[in-house]
Chains A and B, each alone.
Chain A
């Protein structure tokens, strides 16, 4: 007697399995670039393996194999990330579990679990990034998953198009509820449910140190740093200095700043003149504390953000998510007029043993100039008149980078000039420091806002005069005035860029880019930027001033229940039983003409028997019509039966 074969698959999932696999693949798609390659490969392998098992009616792998695979994959994730919490390892685990779950998918119930995982994967992609394209992706992915769901129980005759339509319709019913929940769910400024952000992927931007080459490497990045919408007149390009952080410690090669929480009185040391510039900044995540604002910010509405002693705005915690804030700045200002000797020494400090030639030159030029002001002008004139070049690809510098730059290479980007200038100032006894930030920005005429990109990153210097305080001096302006007047983009296209083989992109492409960015800005403003303030304002419009979160939740629940009732009510009202087919219509017409009523459960044959007595129609007519009807409705052969029925019923007087 043959032993019964170990549980083979029965091939019942063969038709719906590709849908499940495709749903999972679609759900994994946004994760792929972040996940280690072996996880994507494992998913593909498991999917293919499972499909072949189903196709060949083979048995699923044994419990031991599955357990070993699960353990190996878990350890793999642990080894890869060193942790299992956070978005990165979390989605990696989810992906690997989905792959392994495939290997024990035996029934439709398991497929349900897989589709749940797919939905969860789609949602977890939003923890990483919520771009404009996330929305169409979400819609497509959800419709696809819903369709896969429907395909599991679809009749073989149901067309794929129909499944898609049903899936889309189901999603459409859910959309109003989702929107209501999104609008009314209470927003809290720092959500307690915030997930640990994936820190494994880098964010480009300025860091808190500066060495030669740091900013020039940024200048090729087209990524958006922040967007600005001006409420008042847009300042001239030469005034568009977006202040970030201040660096004051020099070790001979690189500059370093201090922790941002140095002083709290800095704002009081600012005197402002003229008209303020009012604007709103939507800043991308930087994972840093610095908050960028136009030089110099005077008032801002960002929570937990203070101005340090160096007139730098910093937030108490790193900026992990895109934030938006309103600022009022003055381009004409006077800051830090008082300075004690201790602080003064710090802004004069230079390492003893480096860049000696620079120090020598500075002292000599200062002597020749006679005054601090004349010295600064002489130095800027030196940068302008001598053969100093502004370039994206400066040659490497040696052990004394400032000496090297000033006397040998004379080619540099903004950080070289700012660094050299500040060292010269300090050597001559003038307190000086470096400010890192962005300069300029591109006005997007389509959305009427300014885009500041990483390529606009800039470094400039500030020097201190007794009685005047800190004064901005940008040595780059002396070397390459077009960088400041026109912005980095124009100067790269028109001037130095060509030299390095960078050609201006076509006008059309640039227009498309601007249009896309304008859409993104709107999306950020209205969807991602829907925070506590916007919500409060919106609730005010609805007649609820400063509602408590309890009240909001209650409103939310009431609205959701109401919507569910409304939608199901509409669906119930709109339901129409499928129209009877032609043969049934004709048969009912015939029944009505016999003068008898068709009772429930009475077959046409039984009715004919009953109706043939005591009807005004002849028994033959009744028999003929009944036969034609049964042929047309239930028979499988006679294509002419319906036609016959049509004439027979029409012939009844």
Chain B
């Protein structure tokens, strides 16, 4: 369905970079079985320079996805396990006094990595959470009065377990807004689950995987993705969707202008991965639930089982111009 264009016709992205992206996508697909759509969305999020929140039950491969992204894309990777006694310094790092030199030396924390996995982000206290969220927003951290830039690209994958309620600090809406997308992985299908059971251990597979891209290629891809053409008709469509979230009686809090920007950026990245010559309506629809789902607040009386169902309802009530 997404065919029809040959690589030569595409305006953006050199073919070597394109090929690296396709190889990375394929490699991820071999590790995380049957989740091509989620992989595509996670890559879109990365190409749109956004951060990713994966929300699902334990054991569905959240951590593996984050780690695999880092390995395949050739990014430096650190994992922070969020617990209730996690301190901001555990994230950003500390200055240690060195006796030999008689000076303070900064010991960078795990946040100084190109891909940071914040595991079970809702288990930590708001203080620790905000240290991370600040780093995500500013792409720099300030320790002891010195501002230090974080690496570029800088990509945070946070996971949280929606079933856990006791002893957690759910992220407030304003902080959820920092994540470009919220992704759910879901259970694999029977066939894929069988292969997971019988096949190799996924962590062991990660040891063997080689990097398909480099940070430089990723930056170039990000730049190219932001240049994807967006027609007036499509801007109209995005605006119509946003308007619907604000006007629908089922929704209390609609999309903010920042939400609309996020939608446009994610749709561009998605169109880039799909090699579309411009952003198509199905690009917007594909990213809509993950971009808008965590930004909308359903009205009290509305009965939707999930945010994605609510988002689908919005899509189904707006004409495509």
Contact = CB atoms under 8 A, between A and B. Distances in A.
Interface of A: 1, 581, 599-606, 608-609, 623-624, 627, 630-631, 633-638
A3 to B, nearest CB: 12
Nearest to A605: B282
A637 B317 contact: no
Most buried by B among A602, A633, A634: A634
Contacts of B96: none
B315 A636 contact: no
Contacts of A633: 231, 233
Given A599-B316, A603-B281, A634-B233, 4 more contacts: A601-B317, A601-B318, A636-B11, A636-B229
Contact of A637 (B9, B282, B315): B9
Contacts of A623: 1, 4
Interface string B5-38: 0000111000000000000000000000000000
B233 to A, nearest CB: 6
B234 A634 contact: yes
A599 B320 CA distance: 10
B206 to A, nearest CB: 34
B145 interface: yes
Contacts of A637: 9-11, 229, 277-278
Given A634-B233, A634-B278, A636-B277, A600 B316 contact: yes
Nearest to B313: A601
Interface in B232-281: 233-234, 276-281
A600 B319 contact: yes
A604 B281 contact: yes
B306 interface: no
Contact of A1 (B147, B279, B318): B147
Contacts of A581: 233
A603 B319 contact: no
Most buried by B among A604, A605, A608, A627: A605
Q: How large is the interface on B (under 10, 10 to 19, 20 to 34, 35 or more residues)?
A: 20 to 34
A511 to B, nearest CB: 56
A1 B317 CA distance: 50
Contacts of A601: 285, 315-320
A609 B282 CA distance: 12
A603 B321 CA distance: 10
A600 B276 contact: no
Contacts of A634: 229, 231, 233-234, 276, 278-281
Nearest to A633: B233
Contacts of A638: 9, 277
B142 interface: yes
A276 B145 CA distance: 100
Given A630-B280, A634-B281, A600 B318 contact: yes
B316 A635 contact: no
Nearest to B11: A637
27 contacts: A1-B145, A1-B146, A1-B147, A600-B317, A600-B318, A601-B315, A601-B316, A601-B320, A602-B320, A603-B281, A603-B285, A604-B280, A605-B1, A605-B2, A608-B1, A609-B1, A623-B1, A627-B4, A631-B278, A634-B229, A634-B231, A634-B276, A634-B280, A635-B229, A635-B277, A637-B11, A638-B277
Mostly, the B contact residues are loop
Contacts, number: 77
B260 to A, nearest CB: 16
Contacts of B10: 637
Contacts of A608: 1
A597 to B, nearest CB: 13
Contacts of A605: 1-2, 280-282
A601 B241 CA distance: 10
A630 B146 CA distance: 50
Nearest to B229: A636
B278 A636 contact: yes
B67 to A, nearest CB: 32
Contacts of B147: 1
A604 B276 CA distance: 13
Contacts of A631: 277-278
Contacts of A599: 316
10 tightest Cβ-Cβ pairs between the two chains A and B: A636-B229, A635-B277, A603-B282, A627-B4, A603-B281, A635-B278, A605-B282, A601-B316, A636-B278, A637-B277
B1 to A, nearest CB: 6
A428 to B, nearest CB: 96
B307 to A, nearest CB: 17
A125 to B, nearest CB: 41
A98 B150 CA distance: 47
A555 B147 CA distance: 71
A623 B4 CA distance: 9
A636 B278 CA distance: 5
Interface string B292-321: 000000000000000000000001111110
A636 B319 CA distance: 22
Most buried by B among A600, A601, A604, A635: A601
A634 B281 CA distance: 8
B282 to A, nearest CB: 4
A1 B231 contact: no
A462 B237 CA distance: 89
A609 B285 CA distance: 15
A180 B142 CA distance: 67
A495 to B, nearest CB: 76
A262 B316 CA distance: 90
Most buried by B among A599, A603, A624, A627: A603
B106 to A, nearest CB: 15
A608 B1 CA distance: 8
A68 to B, nearest CB: 37
A618 to B, nearest CB: 15
A606 B281 CA distance: 10
Contacts of A609: 1
